[in-house]
Amino acid sequence: MFASFVKAFKNLFKEPQTIDYPATPIVKDEGYRGLIEYGQEECIYCLKCEKACPSGAILFVPVENPPKNEKNKKGLKYHYNPHLCIYCTECVRACPKPDEALWQSNKKPPIGIKDDKVNEEWFELERLKSKD
Amino acid sequence: MKKTINIPLGSQHISLLEPVRFRFECENEKIVAVDSDVGFVHRGIERACTTKFKFDGVGYVVARVCGLCAITHSLSYTAGIEKLLDAEITLKAKYLRVLLLELDRIHSHMLCLSHTCENAGFEAMFMRIMGDRELIMEIQELLTGNRVQFDFISIGGVNRDLSPEVAKIILERLKIVREKTLGYMDEFKNNWSLSLKFKGIGTLSLEEAYRFNAIGPLARASGLKIDVRNEIDYLPFSEIGFVMQTQSGGDINSRNIVRLNEIINSIEMCENVINGLPEGEIFTKIKGKPKGEVVVRFEAPRGELMYYIKGNGKPILERVRIKTPTFACIPAFSHIFVGQNYADAPAILASFDPCLSCTAK
C-alpha cells in the first residue's frame, strides 16, 4: 500500500509516455514498409510486378507518348496506386532488377482526397487495361 | 404473467471492443437465458478468396480477417498451400515464423488483460498494460515493417530476415516485458479488484469444458489440456521450449492467470528462437498450382484456428473455409452466462477475449 503511494507520487514528476506531436516529429524506422518506388530508365517491362501484385496496385497501360526506353516495345507506362497498395513487397521480390527498377522506401503514402479524383483516374486506367 | 425481463448487451456497448449482441433474459439480477448474434462485421472474405484473388495473393487477404491474429491466419493458409504443393521450407524460416507467432500471442494476451482491467473499473492498470504493450508492437514493427498488418509470411518462407541489431533490441525489450508481466501477475493475484472480485465468477467446470467443446485459454483455465502447439509437428514448438499452461479454477481469475503464464512462456520461446536461430535461407521458391484438399490447424491466441483449403489445379481456389476460435467457443460462452448476475456480464465477456471480426469474417 505504502509502496504504491510512493510510486504514484513519483509518477507525478515523470515524463509522459506520449510524444509532443507535431512539435516532436515521429521517428521513422529504416525498415518501415512504405511506398514502392520505380526507376523508369532501368525497367525492362517484363510486367512481372503487375502479375505478382495481390491487390492490383501496379498497372502498365499503353499510352500515346510512352516513356523513352528501348525495352518498351508496346508503348506502356507504369502506373502505381499508393491507396490500393498493401506494401507487401511481392512486386519487389518478383522484379528481376530489384533496387534499380523497383524498390521499397519508408515514405508514408499521400492522403487521398476527393478533389484529386484518385478513384476516377484509376478506374479509367483499369478500363483501358481490360480493353487491352 | 411473464416474470423475466429481456436486457440487450450490444451491438454497441461501452464494454465491447467489437460489435456483438447478447440478449439476456433476466430474473431479477440473475441471467436465466442467453441469445447471441455475432454476424455484424461480415465482409465476405471466404467468397473473395475463391473469386477475386489468385492463390498466391490469398495469404494477404486472409491476414485481413483479424488485426490481432493476422499472423496465425496467414500462417495457417500458407502452411496449407505448402502441404498441397509438397514443399518443404527451411528451418530458419520456421523459427522466424514461430518468433512472430509468439510475439503476436504476447500482445494479444496483453490487450485482453488490459481490457479485463478496464471492465473491472481499473482504468490505471488498463493504461499501464496498453503502454507496455507498445514495446511489443514496436518490436513487431522493427521485425516486419508494420505494427498490425505484418505481411511477413509468404508461400515458401518469410519475407524479411532478422538482423543482429534487431535481435539485440528484441531481447532487451523482452526482458523489460517479462519484468512488467511478473508485476502484473502480482497485481492479478493480490489486488482486490482484479483477483478476489473475479474468483468464482463466470465458472466453467472441466466437464462443461468437455461438453461444450471449449478451446484455447478458456478451456485451459478449466484444466482441459488442449493446445494445438502440443499436437502438431509442423513447427518445432517442443524444441523451442513450449510448456502447456493450465489452471483448475475455470473462473475469470484463472483465465487471467493462464494468459499471464502464457505470456511468460511465449517470451521464453522468443528468446530461445533468437538465441538458437539456425543458419540458412529464409525463402525457397515454390512452383505449381494447388490440387486436392487439406486441413490445417494452428493455435491462435484465442484457441484453435482451422483452415480447409480445396484447390483444383487452377490459380483460383475452389473453397477456403475458416473456422475461428471464438466461433467454436460460442456454446461455452452462452452456458457460462446462465446463473450469473447481469452486472458481471461485461467482465465475463471481456475474460473470453472474443474476436468478432474473426468470427464473422
Q: Is the peptide bond between B11 and the residue preceding it cis, with omega within 30 degrees of 0?
A: yes
HSE, CB side, 13 Å, CA atoms: give it for residue B274.
22
Q: Residue B88 in contact with residue B320, Cβ under 8 Å? A: no
Fold of B5-360: Cytochrome-c3 Hydrogenase; chain B (1.10.645)
Show residues of chain A in contact with B159, CB under 8 Å.
88-89, 93
**Is residue B15 less than 8 Å (CB to CB) from chain A?**
no
Show residues of chain B in contact with A85, CB under 8 Å.
none
d(CA B62, CA B56): 11
Establish if A14 belongs to a structural domain. Answer: no
A75 min Cα distance to partner chain B (Å) = 27
Ordered by start, the domain boundaries in chain B are: 5-360
pLDDT tens by residue, A88-119: 888 888 888 888 888 888 888 888 787 777 88
CA torsion sign for A25, A27, A33, A34 is: positive
A54 min Cα distance to partner chain B (Å) = 5
Show residues of chain A in contact with B142, CB under 8 Å.
29, 31
Task: Label residue A19 by pLDDT band (50, 70, 90).
Answer: confident
Q: Residue B329 in contact with residue B351, Cβ under 8 Å? A: no
Q: What is the full per-residue pLDDT of chain B (361 aa) written as tens digits?
A: 678 888 888 778 877 777 888 888 888 888 888 888 888 888 888 888 888 888 888 888 888 888 888 888 888 899 888 888 888 888 888 888 888 888 888 988 999 888 888 888 788 888 888 888 888 888 888 888 888 888 888 888 888 888 888 889 889 988 998 888 888 888 888 877 777 777 878 788 888 888 888 888 888 888 888 888 888 878 878 888 888 888 888 888 888 888 899 999 989 888 888 888 888 888 888 888 888 888 988 888 888 888 998 888 888 888 888 888 888 888 888 888 888 888 888 888 888 888 888 888 7
d(CA B336, CA B341): 11
Q: What is the pLDDT of residue B157?
A: 82
Q: Do B146 and A33 touch (CB under 8 A)?
A: yes
Q: Which of residues 159-178 of B touch A (CB under 8 A)?
A: 159-160
Angle, alpha carbons B334-B335-B340 (nearest 5°): 95
Q: Residue A123 in contact with residue A130, Cβ under 8 Å? A: no
Within 10 A of B114 (CB to CB), how many other CB atoms are there?
Answer: 22
Show residues of chain A in contact with B131, CB under 8 Å.
17
Name the residue among A17, A32, A86 with its Cβ closest to that of B151: A86
HSE, CB side, 13 Å, CA atoms: give it for residue A8.
7
Q: What is the pLDDT of residue B1?
A: 63
**Is residue B146 less than 8 Å (CB to CB) from chain A?**
yes
Whether the complex's predicted ipTM is more than 0.95 is answered with no
HSE, CB side, 13 Å, CA atoms: give it for residue B163.
10
- The per-residue DSSP string of chain A comes to -HHHHHHHHHHTTSPPSS--TTTSPPPPPTT----EEE-TTT-----HHHHH-SS--EEEEE-SS----TT--S-EEEEE-TTT-----HHHHH-SSBTTTEEE--PPPPPP-GGGTHHHHHHHHHHHHHH-
Establish if A127 belongs to a structural domain. Answer: yes
The enclosing domain of A86 has a CATH number of 3.30.70
Establish if A106 belongs to a structural domain. Answer: yes
On average, the pLDDT of chain A sits at 82
The cell for B297 is 490447424
Name the residue among A17, A29, A93 with its Cβ closest to that of B141: A29
Q: Structure pTM?
A: 0.86
Q: What is the pLDDT of residue B237?
A: 81
Establish if A29 belongs to a structural domain. Answer: no
Show residues of chain A in contact with B149, CB under 8 Å.
86
Name the residue among B57, B142, B145 with its Cβ closest to that of A54: B57
Length reported for chain A: 132
Quick check: A70 pLDDT over 80? Answer: no
Q: Which domain holds residue A49?
A: 40-110+117-132
Show residues of chain A in contact with B281, CB under 8 Å.
none
Name the residue among A32, A52, A53 with its Cβ closest to that of B145: A32
Within 10 A of B209 (CB to CB), how many other CB atoms are there?
Answer: 22
Establish if A26 belongs to a structural domain. Answer: no
Parallel, antiparallel or unpaired: strands B303-312 and B319-323? antiparallel
Nearest CA in chain A to B152: A88
Best probe of the A interface among B64, B159, B194, B284, by most A CBs < 10 A, is B159
Q: Do A32 and B144 touch (CB under 8 A)?
A: no
Task: Label residue A132 by pLDDT band (50, 70, 90).
Answer: low
Q: What total of structural domains would you count in chain A?
A: 1
Q: Do B151 and A93 touch (CB under 8 A)?
A: no
